[in-house]
Structure 1
Amino acid sequence: MKPFLRLSAAAAALCAASPAAWSLTAEEAWEAWVGMAAEYGEQVTAANTSMSGGVLTASDVAVSMEMEEMTISGTLGDVTMTENGDGTVAIAIPPEFQLMMSVAPEYGEKVELNINFAMDDLDMSATDADDGVAFTYAAPSMTFGISDMKVDGEAVPLTFTGTIGNSAGTYTKAGEGIASQFTAETLQIDFEGRDPEGGGSGKGSITMADIASSSTGQGQMFFMDPEQLPAMLKAGASMQGSTTVGATTFAVEGVDGSDNFAVSGKMDGGSGSVTLNAEQVLYAVNYTGFDVTMSGSDIPLPEVSLGMGETSFNVIFPLAQSTEPKPYVLAVGLNDVTIADGIWNMFDPGTVLPRDPATLTFNLAGTGNWLIDILDEEALANPQGMPGELHSLNISDVKLNVAGAELTADGTFTFDNSDLMTFGGMPAPDGTLRARLSGANGLLDNLVTMGFVPADQANGVKMMSGMFFRPGDGPDVLTTEIGVSPDGTVSANGIPIPLQ
């Protein structure tokens, strides 16, 4: 969905930059508009431009973009840029226009389609912005839709429409970078289609509220061939972006003969952010209040539902070759996960197991460094020796809570990269992992009651746990400290564990 938001915004603003005086002229606004479009990989041309009475008219404006395996082209019509007398320039484009898209992969089917845009009461202007030009726009309603879709020359019966309500945004070109902001109160997407070679059909809808996004960086990074990314990063390119959305709903259903399916759900809200440069990549997403319900002829229940109170994923990953340790992070959180009683009843009809919401979280953080340039394809494919070094690992926020049992853990380790012999090619670790396990015996007893685990095997597991765990601070609570020493010793609660 985000590419459609960006495409509609770019088509509305097409934007960009050349140095302008304090009082922006229509000619400067036009040059900046064409220049910023070029930053996004677009070519904007006019059959003719003329200036009269402070109004620049660009006739038969055409837009084109070429990427690997994909081309986009279209005609906007006549565009006018009017000097307002206060240093700003008003921009008017036709309220409706169409772009043609063609995707021709080396392997796969060729897809051709038209994208129709319509913008009611679009208010757009350009103004001087420090060392560049800013383009600002607002529209009560912006719509986009797909028509005349063909796959390998065969028409595909498909309707796809999107409506963005009360949107506003700004694109600013200053120096070699572009900054953008976008907000919208609502987004509604509806689609429906059928299989041209069979009787299958489907339809769906998506709604979003309170959308906001911002980004800085080079425009071409948003649309470029991924194979060009390493070279651009090494040349100094970078980008930052973030997005938030409010209440979201979705529903999809389909039928093919006697087979059918339906999926629907909602989300209270979510956010995401990314930072990418030659040094590192940072990526984070978070969603709250996610619920989904599924039904269909292949599902042996009237419906299946799943809920998650909060979902999070965070990554910090170093990219640059370095002799100094750099930070890394991998953090995952699945909180308050629930499944419908119908699923529980399939394997636990007697309600033996507690059905409390489940949770899985962990946070792995530390330092390491690359000894090779991983942005160099040849160096990555043919590393000479170890490609990198791991220096430290901190384990925290480990929590697994399911069916009445709970495991928590934390630990800290350092690694000796000069010793690759003691642990068979791995840098020698030094540290301790601490864990607490509660409710495990109760869970084993419940599994025996349900017939999933034989009683003798459950008793064997309980006896074996004594090698690694010791009684904790309450009934059915076990704790342990697993230590690893640089000399190769692994111990549990101070007692060495034979590894062979």
Structure 2
Amino acid sequence: MTHRKPAFAAALLAAAFSASGAMADITAAEAWESIGALGQSFGETITGTPTMAGNVMTVRGVTITMDMPEAQLQGKIGDITLTERGDGTVAITLPPESRFTYSGGADGQRLFEAALTMAQSGMTTIVSRTGAETTYDFTADTLSFDMRDMDMAAEDRPADFGLSLTLGGLAGQYLVGEGPLISFTSQISAENAALSLNGTDPASDSKVTLSARMQDLQGQSRATLPEDTPLSEDMGALLRAGFGTDGEFRYGATTYAQSLDGPDGPLQVIGSAAGGTLQVSMIGDHLSYSGTQSSTDLIVLSAQLPVPEIGARIDESAFNLTMPVTPTEEPADFRLLTALNGIEIDEKVWALFDPDSLLPRTPANLVIDLSGKARWLIDILDPRAVESAEDLPAEIESLTINELEVSAAGAALTGRGAFTFDNAGRGPFSPLPVPQGNVSLRLSGADALMDALVQIGLVPEEQVMGYRMMLGIFATPLPGEDTLVSDIELTPDGGILANGQPLR
């Protein structure tokens, strides 16, 4: 069972009254009417009693209801004001605090309920309009979301759970265009952000806490929303109706701390990073999700570890997932990237198994970069289609190994390759399609690593001899170097060749 996150729903609410209210025209009455229309496009029902005094409209007792699959958000916003400034702009002001109830459960059963508070200080929104496009600029000293009093009806007692997010020094601009496809373009920044989470698992009495802080947040996004298809619809329906979004998020110095106190004793993780990026795009039939992070430091403390404190560092990390999300007639592009470069661990960890420093302490790298073409045979956004699938849900046409690197302790395995797949037939890899292609591999420093492992006593000499014999079957040594190369080929008839020699 999945639910739309309450913090996300509250963020949409903040947009509706601080930013989306900008979709109003230049009069307060039209602004209030526009708020209701925009809320409806998000699957929200917004009510309130407006009164006009001079150039100021006050809407009292504003409430909001948002129905989602197996969940509902209900909120009491309070009173809002819409002020006609006399220069073609409208100012919208929210109350300092608004309260919500987030609840859900399948088939009419209440399985959970939580109280959510949205608070702001110094928030100002100035709205203007040019043609069919509305521009609004907003600032806020702080904007926060706080969830407390989680009640899980399926448990014997309420869950002790709390979640809060606070943004400071907030500023941004939104552009909203009207039409059959409503367009949103945004730029937003925050000087800092603070996140905290704490909770207790009623079943095991395990307690978890998490706190994180970020500096210099910046984001920009673009989205199109079908006018007659609210966000409460499933994602497949939204995409078919023309929904699309893409955005980029950047953050600076980050620190975080997490602790878990359970039956096995306390565990604490402390970390930091110099900064990073996130990108997400879902347009048409494709999803792309990627990110980077630099200078990540981790410290793990636990009495259950061989040493009470383990420290590690990663110079650079990156990930990328790109794939089709709807069935297509022709195979579409996909990519999967995982990269961890410059991995280092504390010397005291090395000393546990290599006190004489026989192994090089060179930083380790792990890079797997794959791409190709594939297509879904079912709608993976439809749970019923996924559950009823009896055969493979997808077909892969080609796979390219753009980069493969696994290096540590002075040894390194690298490789590149490409394969195509015959989906019409089934061979020795049944039920998978028959692959054809080759991969070129290079292994350096393996002999020196195995010699050191034997000298340390981690691997028996006879076992290393077996490894060397196996490598001799698949690889060819380069003269005068501690390097092995291998070209593995898969033939259409199911054969496997290593450096031209048949293995199968």
**Shorter-chain TM-score category?**
0.7 to 0.9
Q: Does residue 172 of structure 2 align to residue 166 of structure 1?
A: no
Which letter does structure 1 place at the counterpart of 2:73?
I
Shift of residue 247, structure 1, vs aligned partner: 0.9
SS at match of 1:145: strand
Report the CA distance between 1:160 and its aligned residue.
5.2
Structure 2 CA distance for partners of 1:162 and 1:494, relative to 1, 3 Å? closer
CA distance 1:279–1:209, shift in 2 (3 Å)? same
**2:213 paired with 1:207:** yes
Further displaced range: 382-391 or 66-75 = 382-391
The alpha carbon displacement at 1:118 in A equals 2.8
Report matched runs for 1:170-209 at 5 Å. Answer: 170-174=173-177, 175=179, 176-179=181-184, 180-190=186-196, 203-209=209-215
Shift of 1:418: 4.3
The match for 2:356 is 350
Cα distance in 2, alignment partners of residues 313 and 465 from structure 1: 31
Per the normalisation by structure 1, the TM-score is 0.86
Which residue is equivalent to 2:120?
Answer: 119
Selected match of 2:29 from 27, 30, 47: 27
Amino acid at match of 2:14: A
Describe the shift of the 1:112–1:182 C-alpha distance in structure 2 as closer, same or farther (beyond 3 A).
same
Q: What are the ranges of 5 or more consecutive residues in structure 2 without an aligned counterpart?
A: none
Question: Conserved in 2, the CA contact under 8 Å of 1:304 and 1:340?
Answer: yes
Closer, same or farther: CA 129–38 of 1 in aligned 2, 3 Å: farther
Q: Deviations over 1:122-181 (max 9, x none)?
A: 111222154243443211222333444544495666665543211023444323334233
Give the deviation of 1:487 after TM superposition.
3.5
The question of whether the paired residues in 2 share the 8 Å contact of 1:32 and 1:133 is answered with no
Letter in 2 for 1:100: T
Q: Helix, strand or coil for the counterpart of 1:486?
A: coil
Q: Cα offset for 1:208?
A: 0.6
Q: Which amino acid aligns with 2:340?
A: L
Secondary structure of the structure 2 residue equivalent to 1:98? strand
1:238 aligns with 2:241: no
Partners of 1:17 and 1:133 within 8 A in 2: no
Matching residue of 1:465: 471
Matches within 5 A, 1:441-480: 441-472=447-478, 474-480=480-486
After superposing the two structures, state which structure 1 stretch, 336-345 or 399-408, moved more. Answer: 336-345
Which residue of the other structure, out of 289, 295, 307, is the alignment partner of 1:289? 295
The equivalent of 1:81 in structure 2 is 82
Shift of 1:408: 0.6
Matched-pair contact (CA < 8 Å) for 2:182–2:226:
no
What is the Cα deviation at residue 482 of structure 1?
1.3
Does the CA contact (< 8 Å) of 1:16 and 1:35 recur in 2? no
- Counterpart AA for 1:317: M
1:42 to 44, 52, 69: 44
Match status 1:133 vs 2:138: no
Structure 1 unaligned segments of length 5 or more: list them: none
Does 2:104 match 1:98?
no
**8 Å CA contact retained: 2:16, 2:38:** no
What residue in structure 1 maps to residue 313 of structure 2?
307
Equivalent of residue 216 in structure 1, options 198, 213, 222: 222
Amino acid at match of 2:474: F
Q: What amino acid is the match of 2:182?
A: G
Moved more, 3-12 or 79-88: 3-12
Task: Please give the per-residue CA displacement for 1:176-234, whole angstroms capped at 9, x wherever unaligned.
Answer: 33423321110123456678999976655311111122333356999966x82223323
Is the Cα contact below 8 Å between 2:205 and 2:262 reproduced in 1?
Answer: yes
Amino acid at match of 1:177: I
- Matching residue's letter, 1:44: I
Higher mean displacement: 356-365 or 194-203:
194-203
Q: For the residues of structure 1 that align with 2:386 and 2:69, how far apart are their CA atoms?
A: 24
Q: Is the 8 A contact 1:100 1:115 kept in 2?
A: yes
- 8 Å contact from structure 2 (residues 24, 32) kept in 1: no
User: Which residue identity is paired with 2:138?
Assistant: Y
The partner residue of 2:10 within 7, 27, 39 is 7
| Residues 375-386 of structure 1 mapped to structure 2, 5 A cutoff | 375=381, 380=386
Instruction: Letter of the 1:168 partner, please give it.
Output: A
Alpha-carbon displacement from aligned partner over 1:4-46 (angstroms, at most 9, x marks no partner): 477347326435479866xx22222222222223333332210
Identity, % of aligned pairs? 33
8 Å CA contact 1:39–1:218 kept in 2: the answer is no
Distance 1:199 1:41 in 2: 38
Amino acid across the alignment from 1:169 = G
Q: Give the distance between the partners of 2:69 and 2:473, measured in 1 at CA.
A: 59
Partners of 1:255 and 1:155 lie apart in 2 by 19
- AA of the residue aligned to 1:137: F
1:385–1:340 Cα change, 3 Å: closer
Q: Aligned match of 1:398 in 377, 400, 404? A: 404
Could you tell me the TM-score, scaled by structure 2's length? 0.85
CA contact (8 A) 1:13 1:135 kept: no
- Equivalent residue for 1:269? 275
Equivalent residues of 2:226, 2:241 under 8 A apart: no
Is the 1:308–1:337 contact (alpha carbons within 8 Å) kept by the matching residues of 2?
yes
| Aligned 8 A contact 2:223 2:245 in 1 | yes
Deviation, structure 1 residue 440: 0.8
- Secondary structure of 1:351's counterpart equals coil
1:279-312 Cα deviation digits (max 9, x unpaired): 1211112222111112133334221122221221
